[in-house]
Chain A
Amino acid sequence: MTSPVVALAGDTIISAHPVDYLIVAIYFVFVIGIGVVARRQVSDSVDFFLSGRSLPAWVTGLAFISANLGAVEIMGMSANGAQFGLPAVHYFWIGAVPAMLFLGVVMMPFYYGSKVRSVPEFMLRRFGPGAHLVNAISFAVAQLLIAGINLYLLGSIIQALVGIPLWLSTIIAAAIVLSYITLGGLSAAIYNEVLQFFVIVAALTPLTWLGLKRVGGWDGLKQGITEGAQNKGVASAAEQLHSWPGTALTGFSSDILSVIGIVFGLGFVLSFGYWTTNFVEVQRAMATDSISSARKTPIIGAYPKIFIPFITILPGMIAAVLVPQIADFKAGQSVAGGAEGSITYNDALIYLMREVLPNGLLGVAITGLLAAFMAGMAANISAFNTVLSFDLWERYVVKDQSDDYYLRVGRLATVAATVIAIGTSLLASNFSNIMNYLQTLFGFFNAPLFATFILGMFWKRMTATAGWVGLVAGTLSAVAVAFLSEDAFGSVSLGVLPLSGQGASFVAAGTAFVVDVVLSIVVSMVTAPKPVEELRGLVYSETPKEDLVDEHEKTLPWFRRTIPLAVIAGVITIALNFAF
């Protein structure tokens, strides 16, 4: 390969032209414009946080999926595609769509009907202050850590673009995100998320099309992957070109264990935990005008989610064949370049953009990436903001103040969260693989929450003490597994258990879930349950059926009703699992 090795002093990875900067600048004019307009409509704190429940389902549905189409989806999934190939699709078809449909069909009526502003608030009403406090704190910490990942990746894009040091680009990125959240709150965030979704699709679609053309179509890609697979340490061509059993992804040697790990660890615990309890996304559905719209929000979001792997994982696979630097790295060489000074799979997408996109489209792609990371981080910070001001500050620190007061607390929390995220972005930059880090965090925070949640919702005997004990024990057990594994905690892990890669985080999450469920049952047996009359709207069997449906929904045509929409999405997903 004769392609020059990059990263000379003062050299940038991406060489943008004035037209590319024009495209980026236009986006920021739009973003700031929306913020200013939305600000004029902020009236009280409920309006600020939930947009006054006035948005139609298709807006919140897209916002729902866009809140998730941030750093993880784009960089993480193209990196996974470059490294593992097709098994990465499990993050979508096993690890997302089923849980999104479950959220819309089963969980959403509870969230919406009980008019809670956050998942911790739901915990408060079901289990009382113990579980609520534990959950609110762990959720706030998780948001700060994940915001750090988004900020780190946003900073690394700015670095690739203008060639300034990573610490400086991170601070600039933080300032940009902060200025737009404080201008308009959730309304602006939702509008921007939808907008960035269209930009990212407009950029990634031609990227995939051109990349595929350059490698000689699907057959050329298969051939390239098969040739590359002959190198030592690379997953075999069969493993890379079939989604099941995905042993390279999980790091398990047994096919059966790998399938169990994917279905139970990723598909059930991590994914249901993430999608059904993560208020970053759930908050979007709460901004709708009816139960029917709230239920349809995640289901409408599931449709784009089904097809996103084709513009995230596929470009990653193409990059590993077409881009010399990524191909050499995959073959086991150390190549200079990238955000960290040497190439990793995380750089796959940026290098593919540089390889195939002409100036103009390149600007659209840069805009899309910047916008996606901003949206992801803004979503983390606004969720943190809600939990801190309503669930922690108002309840445990300073009670009974005016709406105005808590709005001010929220704004201060936003500033503080952004500053802290600069610190947590340093933490994120220490992990060689962002996806491993993120899945590990989800195991700590979401898996126990989901276990407590699902038990509390369907088992009315579960007690308040069991609520917080289960959460604490679940989180601690996941931390213990990550600590004992080979690399889930990076260099801090002890390596006592023979687990590595994303399989380790699946096991940690599974452990958290099982420990939480078992302890909750044991503790419930020896403590007193809540009176049944307090559980209406909180436990499935105690909630009248008419509370869970929107009578207006019957008047809609079938293709706008919740259940048919969910069934169609389910069928498409199953078909895709068979096809690949």
Chain B
Amino acid sequence: MPANTVESRRTHSAGLFDIRNIIGALLTIYGVICLLMGLFGDPETDKTGGPNANLWSGLVMLVVGVAFIAWARLKPVKVPEVKE
């Protein structure tokens, strides 16, 4: 344990307000919206040059978002830098 770690264990970056949960939640929501647009909306292939951009970008955002939430769940941080 580093000597200069603050004594009180505040839950400053823990729980729902862990930044990874916030990033994960936002990207997941955006991913779902874009995915739905890709599935049910106009793919506007004249703009994108072929690919269904909403579908693929939505999928990637969804995966990244879920990964962030999973990271926060698997390694919850209260005091950073102390990991076994």
Residues on B with beta carbons closer than 8 Å to the beta carbon of A405: none
Chain A, Cβ-Cβ closest to B35? A360
Q: In the complex the two chains form, what is the Cα distance from A555 to B33 in whole Å?
A: 44
Beta-carbon contact of B19 and A194 below 8 Å:
yes
Q: Are B54 and A26 in contact (CB under 8 A)?
A: no
Distance in Å from the Cβ of B44 to the closest Cβ of chain A? 4
Using Cβ atoms and an 8 Å threshold, which residues of chain B touch A359?
Answer: 37, 41-42, 44
**Would A356 and B49 be within 8 Å (CB), given that A194-B23, A202-B27, A289-B6 are in contact?**
yes
Contact residues of B between 1 and 35, Cβ < 8 Å to A: 2-6, 10, 12-13, 17, 19, 22-23, 25-27, 29-30, 33-34
Apart from A54-B10, A360-B54, what are 9 other A-B pairs with CB-CB below 8 Å? A195-B22, A195-B23, A198-B26, A202-B61, A206-B53, A210-B47, A356-B47, A358-B42, A361-B57
26 contacts between A and B (CB under 8 A): A26-B26, A52-B10, A56-B13, A57-B80, A57-B81, A191-B19, A195-B19, A198-B23, A202-B57, A206-B57, A210-B48, A210-B49, A210-B53, A213-B50, A214-B49, A290-B5, A290-B81, A293-B81, A357-B53, A358-B47, A359-B44, A360-B37, A360-B38, A361-B34, A364-B30, A552-B3
Shortest beta-carbon distance from B59 to chain A in Å: 11
- A54-B12, A289-B5 known; A23 and B48 CB under 8 Å? no
The DSSP consensus for interface residues of chain A is helix
B residues less than 8 Å from A551 (CB atoms): 3
Contacts from B to A (Cβ < 8 Å):
2-6, 10, 12-13, 17, 19, 22-23, 25-27, 29-30, 33-34, 37-38, 41-44, 47-51, 53-54, 56-58, 61, 64, 77, 79-81
Give complex CA distance A364, B10 in Å.
Answer: 34
A209 to B49, CA, bound (A): 10
Query: Binary interface profile of A, 277-293, with partner B (CB < 8 Å = 1, else 0)?
Result: 00000000000011111
Contact between chains at A356 and B22 (CB < 8 Å): no
* Chain A residue contacts of B80, Cβ below 8 A: 54-57, 59, 289, 293
A43-60 contacts to B, CB under 8 A, are 51-57, 59
The CA-CA distance from A293 to B33 in the complex, in Å, is 36
A299 contacts chain B at the CB level, 8 A cutoff = no
Alpha-carbon distance A83/B62, docked complex (angstroms): 35
* Alpha-carbon gap, A574 to B41, bound state (A): 44
Interface positions of A (Cβ within 8 A of B): 19, 22-23, 26-27, 30, 34, 37, 41, 51-57, 59, 191, 194-195, 198-199, 202, 205-206, 209-210, 213-214, 289-293, 355-361, 363-364, 550-552
User: Which residues of chain A come closer than 8 Å to B64, judged between CB atoms?
Assistant: 202
Give me the 10 closest cross-chain CB pairs, A-B, nearest first. Answer: A56-B80, A360-B37, A358-B44, A552-B2, A214-B49, A360-B54, A213-B49, A206-B57, A360-B34, A210-B48
> Chain B residues near A357 (CB, 8 Å)?
47-48, 53
Contact B27 A198 (CB under 8 A): yes
Given A27-B26, A191-B19, answer yes or no on A55-B43 (Cβ-Cβ < 8 Å).
no
Does B4 lie within 8 Å of A290, measured CB to CB? Answer: yes
A358 touches B54 (CB 8 A): yes
B-side contacts of A210, CB under 8 Å: 47-49, 51, 53
Q: Which of A51, A206, A210, A358 has the most CB of B within 10 A?
A: A358
Task: Tell me the smallest distance from the CB of B72 to a CB of chain A, in Å.
Answer: 12
* Bound complex: CA A454 to CA B24 (Å): 41
A431 nearest CB across to chain B (Å): 32
Distance in Å from the Cβ of B45 to the closest Cβ of chain A? 9
Q: Which of B13, B30, B58 has the most CB of A within 10 A?
A: B30
A426 to B52, CA, bound (A): 41
Check A41/B53 contact, CB under 8 A, given A194-B19, A355-B47, A364-B34: no
Question: Which listed residue (B19, B41, B48) contacts A356, Cβ 8 A?
Answer: B48
What CA separation (Å) do A552 and B79 show in the bound complex? 15
Assess whether A360 is in contact with B26, with CB atoms less than 8 Å apart: no
- Please give, as numbers and ranges, the residues of chain A lying within 8 Å of B37 by CB-CB distance: 19, 358-360
Bound-complex Cα distance A59 to B10 (A): 17
Contacts of A199 in B (CB 8 A): 26, 30
Q: Is the CB of A360 within 8 A of B41?
A: yes
Report chain B residues within 8 Å CB of A360: 33-34, 37-38, 41, 54, 58
A293–B26 alpha-carbon span in the complex (Å): 26
Alpha-carbon distance A364/B41, docked complex (angstroms): 16
Contact A19 B48 (CB under 8 A): no
Q: Which residues of A contact B41 (CB under 8 A)?
A: 19, 358-360
> Chain A contacts of B49 at CB under 8 A?
210, 213-214, 356
Contact between B22 and A56, CB atoms less than 8 A apart: no
| Residues of B contacting A206 in the complex (Cβ-Cβ under 8 angstroms) | 53, 56-57
Closest to A33 in B: B22
Among residues of B, the one whose C-beta sits closest to the C-beta of A26 is B29
In the complex, the answer to whether B61 meets A52 with C-beta atoms within 8 Å is no
Is there an interface contact between A52 and B6, defined as CB atoms closer than 8 Å?
yes
Contact indicator B81/A56 (Cβ below 8 Å): yes
Residue in B closest to A58 when the chains form the complex, CB atoms: B80
**Cβ of A361: which chain B residues have Cβ within 8 Å of it?**
34, 53-54, 57
Min distance, Cβ B16 to any Cβ of chain A, angstroms: 9
A191, B56: Cα distance in complex, Å = 27
Task: Give the Cβ gap from A287 to chain B, nearest Cβ, in Å.
Answer: 11
**A30, A209, A360 — most chain B CB neighbours (10 Å):** A360
- C-alpha spacing A98/B21, complex, angstroms: 32
- Which chain A residue lies CB-closest to B41? A360
Q: Chain B residues with Cβ under 8 A from A56's Cβ?
A: 13, 77, 80-81
Q: In the assembled complex, which residues on chain B have CB atoms less than 8 Å from the CB atom of A195? A: 19, 22-23, 26
Chain B neighbourhood of A41, CB < 8 A: 10, 12
Tell me whether A59 and B19 are in contact in the complex, defined as CB-CB below 8 angstroms, given that A198-B26, A289-B81 are known contacts: yes
Min CB distance, B75 to chain A, in Å?
A: 11
Known: A19-B37, A289-B6. A54 touches B13 (CB 8 A): yes
- Contact of A191 with B26 in the complex, beta carbons under 8 Å: no
**In the complex, are the beta carbons of A30 and B22 less than 8 A apart?**
yes
Q: Which of A19, A59, A289 contacts B33 (CB 8 A)?
A: A19
The residues of A that contact B42 with a CB separation of less than 8 Å are 358-359
